[in-house]
Structure 1
Amino acid sequence: MSEENVKQLIGKVFNDIATGIETGGFSNKVKVGITLLGSEHGIENIVKGAELASKRNNSYEVVLIGPKVETELRVVEANDEDEQHKKMEELLDSKEIDAAVTMHYNFPIGVSTVGRVVTPGVGKEMFIATTTGTSSPHRVEAMVKNGLSGIITAKAMGIENPSIGILNVDGARQVERALKELNENGYDINFSESMREDGGSVMRGNDLLTGTPDVMITDSLTGNLLMKIFSSFNTGGSYEALGFGYGPGVGDGYKRNILILSRASGIPVVANAIEYGADLAKGNILNVNKAEHKKAKNAKYDEILKGLTKEKNKSEASEEEVKAPKKEIVTGSISGIDIMELEDAVKELWKNGIYAESGMGCTGPIVMVNEEKLSKSIEVLAKSGYTTQESDHC
């Protein structure tokens, strides 16, 4: 056993002894800490949320971290936000608490949070991956990582085979191709189908409202906006009343179960976030994180991510002066191409002697070609990495 593990074990033992002396007995309950300072609604808002969580579920213990307050809950004293975060980290690292909920916390690059909302269409819960933090400075790579983080979180919450959908934002089609490649390499991914008639795993706004997938993949900025809308659409925006908060920070090798709340989170969301943290601790999210990353890496996850950031060749190709072939009637359309790559895809067909135009079709961006050259065009674009051989066309 390493020195670090010994220290953590000793810390937990002393904490259990202290708890036993204080309460007259020893508890194996999951312990969730929550910091008190930083809320726009004041300390009382957080305390009431913590007390609500403690009263409605006795399967976990809530520990407050911050200034001393009048409450029956245990308080670990800290006088400012920096101090309370240091205390929180110490409690986590010593295993005195199993999860922590806080506000305005800086995660390292590579870690971002998976939010949990109740969708207004049918009242279904859905995870939004991700909502704060930065998985990668590269947009598409970040969204692929967000997808894995969403799957990890859903599995830790007891969903054995979570369905995933990719929100129709810039980069969605590239993310879809990367995840399908990961799936083909042996990392099983359960792709959801849009509720819209044309289906597909790229989700529309309707799918957000009905919670079509268990996990909705998007970039963190969009995810953050969605969390705010879902949480406060019926309160005018200043008070987040619905949902479970912005969720746990997840990333390769990350070893702390820390969940994020908005400073605008109200009492119900505070209580839900604490319960979310407790459930993730019970589901061993840190172990799930480690195991799922290992399985993904065995399916060439790292190689796929590296391929996403190698844009030099495509950038150079897009800058080449490519002349269009003789114009033809274009009634055949190919979807599944990301908006950011649309014009490059058209030029790729031109280079191969196929006249093409860009447009907007029933499922988003499309490349239009002569109907007789549709199969050949799909083959060219698939070979160049712009779409897949089985790509749907409108």
Structure 2
Amino acid sequence: MDSTKKIIAEVFNEIAEGIESGTFSKKVKIGLTTFGSEHGIEEMIKAAEMAKSKYGDFDVVLIGPKVDCDLEVVEAEDAEDGHKKMVELLEKKQLDGCVTQHFDFPIGVSTVGKLVTPALGKELILATTTGTTSTNRVEGMIKNAISGIAVAKAVGIKEPTVGILNVDGARAVERSLMELQHGGYDIKFAESLRADGGAVMRGNDILTGTPDVMICDSLTGNLMVKIFSSFTTGGNYETLGYGYGPGIGENYDKLINIVSRASGAPLICEALRYCATCAKNHVLIKASTEFKLANTAGLNNIIDKLLAKDKPSVSEKVEIPTKKVVTFAIPGIDILDLDDACKSLWREDIYSESGMGCTGPVILVNEQDGDKAIEVLKKTGYK
């Protein structure tokens, strides 16, 4: 009798949560930009139709040229216009998320991918795969762990285990995450399958999917996604996995999942599924919650200690100009120079932000300041 009451209570709680969140009877809408694929617009339409046929519990909205199909289409003139329409639809809450081939995420936001590992066919969350969480490698990987945990919980893993890929900075990341754990943040470390064990993972652990969440820098993660998604096809057509995943940051407010220009319909179909699951389970809210918990456990103090040794004794202060809308991207700046490059523009009263696109670091300025900003960066030796 008690167990029956418990089940009934759980059902009513789910109904109440569904009504409160607005997702109980409403399908989520996921956008798909169709310009930019190396395989053509037809491949993108095929992916959307596959998702509709295979799943059906979410709607797909195409953003691109007018096409003859049974899906909703928001018309766009080209890839740039498509991205503007995508952002507008997300900001107006007319889309719950979107899958696209490229996006200039701000520094502090990077994507959490998902693989299917070849040894056991297990899904592995890879944090992160594009974008840059921090220009400091170790800080970035520490925060990637929190982002990865948030996404794991959003896709249904209640207590995800975490491993740290054995790349430069892995031991410092391990020490910092253990300190965060001792401060009260609930993080569960995986054990490597190799004889010496430990939370620092080997390449073997990627193949088997030892942890639920594997932590690495985004360049390594990007390489892993490319290899795992296309190793059966020769590299020019990605078929396996879920793509590069949603952009996650401490206070980021748009659900944008990334796929490659080389991604084929089977992978894009699963990327749409991945995005829809993240939307239904409020991954951005979960990320915000995880970062709050981590901050309470001392994350900021851990990061401050980590960065203190890298700070010069006297730090130049530059006044930041009045904020403007930044949509003009200037590529070709080394990631280690991003902060100083921004300061060089601030000195000339040009508002700028640093960002990271799929092709590398960018400086973001207002459209009207684009030409002047490029001249300043050339004069100061950053471009």
TM norm structure 2? 0.74
Deviation at 1:309, TM superposition (A): 1.4
Deviation at 1:314, TM superposition (A): 12
Residue of structure 1 in register with 2:268 after alignment: 270
Please state whether the residue corresponding to 1:142 is helix, strand or coil. Answer: helix
1:283-302 map, 5 Å: 283-302=281-300
Residue of structure 1 in register with 2:44 after alignment: 46
CA–CA separation in structure 1 for the residues paired with 2:311 and 2:94 = 51
Of residues 192, 196, 199, the one that matches 2:197 is 199
Unaligned runs of 5+ in 1: 1-26, 316-394
Letter of the 1:281 counterpart: A
Deviation at 1:293, TM superposition (A): 1.0
Residue of structure 2 in register with 1:163 after alignment: 161
Task: Give CA-to-partner distance per residue, 1:338-390, whole Å, 9 cap, x none.
Answer: xxxxxxxxxxxxxxxxxxxxxxxxxxxxxxxxxxxxxxxxxxxxxxxxxxxxx
Please state whether the residue corresponding to 1:48 is helix, strand or coil. Answer: helix
Check whether the contact 2:33–2:99 (CA below 8 A) recurs between aligned residues: yes
Letter of the 2:263 counterpart: S
CA–CA separation in structure 2 for the residues paired with 1:175 and 1:132 = 19
Residue of structure 1 in register with 2:256 after alignment: 258
CA–CA separation in structure 1 for the residues paired with 2:300 and 2:64 = 40
Deviation at 1:302, TM superposition (A): 1.1
CA–CA separation in structure 1 for the residues paired with 2:310 and 2:52 = 54
**Identity of paired residues, percent?**
58
Residue of structure 2 in register with 1:65 after alignment: 63
1:104-253 map, 5 Å: 104-253=102-251
Task: Give CA-to-partner distance per residue, 1:295-322, whole Å, 9 cap, x none.
Answer: 111001111112221224999xxxxxxx
Residue of structure 2 in register with 1:309 after alignment: 307
Q: Work out the number of aligned pairs and report it.
A: 290
CA–CA separation in structure 2 for the residues paired with 1:95 and 1:207 = 39
1:2-41 map, 5 Å: 28-41=26-39
Task: Give CA-to-partner distance per residue, 1:191-233, whole Å, 9 cap, x none.
Answer: 0000011100000011010000000000000000000000001
Letter of the 2:160 counterpart: P
Change (3 A) 1:178 1:83: same
Please state whether the residue corresponding to 2:127 is helix, strand or coil. Answer: strand
Check whether the contact 2:146–2:287 (CA below 8 A) recurs between aligned residues: no
CA–CA separation in structure 2 for the residues paired with 1:77 and 1:126 = 35
TM norm structure 1? 0.72
CA–CA separation in structure 2 for the residues paired with 1:100 and 1:308 = 35
Unaligned runs of 5+ in 2: 1-24, 314-383
Letter of the 1:238 counterpart: N
Check whether the contact 2:111–2:245 (CA below 8 A) recurs between aligned residues: yes
**Which is bigger in relative contact order (C-alpha 8 A, separation at least 6)?**
2
Task: Give CA-to-partner distance per residue, 1:229-271, whole Å, 9 cap, x none.
Answer: 0000111000101000000000010001100000000010110
CA–CA separation in structure 2 for the residues paired with 1:85 and 1:194 = 41
Letter of the 1:199 counterpart: G
Deviation at 1:127, TM superposition (A): 0.5
1:86-97 map, 5 Å: 86-97=84-95
Please state whether the residue corresponding to 2:63 is helix, strand or coil. Answer: strand
Question: What RMSD, in angstroms, separates the aligned Cα atoms of the two structures?
Answer: 1.5
Letter of the 2:241 counterpart: G
CA–CA separation in structure 2 for the residues paired with 1:214 and 1:313 = 35
Please state whether the residue corresponding to 1:113 is helix, strand or coil. Answer: strand
CA–CA separation in structure 2 for the residues paired with 1:143 and 1:156 = 20
Change (3 A) 1:312 1:101: closer
Residue of structure 1 in register with 2:278 after alignment: 280
CA–CA separation in structure 1 for the residues paired with 2:291 and 2:246 = 16
Please state whether the residue corresponding to 2:207 is helix, strand or coil. Answer: helix
Deviation at 1:28, TM superposition (A): 1.3
Of residues 82, 85, 100, the one that matches 1:84 is 82
